[in-house]
Copies of this chain bind each other. A is one copy, B any other.
Amino acid sequence: MKVSEKLHKDAKPVWDKICAHPFVVELFQGTLPIEKFKTYILHDYSYLLGAIRNFSIIASRADSADVVREVVEIAHLEATGEFQGYEEMLHTLGYTMDDAMRVEPFPTNLSYRSFLLTTSSLGTSQEALASVLPCFWSYLDIAVDHRDALSKNTNKIYVDWASVYLSGDYRQLVNKLRHLVDSTCEDFPYKRLRTLFLTASRYEYMYWDAAYKQESWPI
Contacts and interface: CB of A to CB of B under 8 A. Distances in A.
Contacts of A113: 118
B219 A14 contact: yes
Contacts of A122: 53, 60-61, 117, 121
A72 B56 contact: yes
A69 interface: yes
Nearest to A68: B52
Contact of A60 (B13, B53, B69, B115): B53
A115 B121 contact: no
19 contacts: A13-B219, A49-B68, A52-B69, A53-B60, A54-B60, A56-B60, A60-B122, A75-B75, A76-B76, A107-B111, A110-B199, A111-B114, A111-B115, A114-B117, A117-B121, A121-B122, A205-B219, A206-B218, A209-B218
Interface residues of A, number: 45
Nearest to A13: B219
Interface in A77-117: 79-80, 83, 101, 107-108, 110-115, 117
Identify whether the interface residues of A are mostly helix, strand, loop, or mixed: helix
A124 interface: yes
Interface string A35-68: 0000000000000010011101101110001001
A17 interface: yes
A85 to B, nearest CB: 14
Contacts of A121: 117-118, 121-122
A123 to B, nearest CB: 8
Nearest to A202: B217
Contacts of A209: 218
B124 A115 contact: no
Interface string A169-197: 00000000000000000000000000000
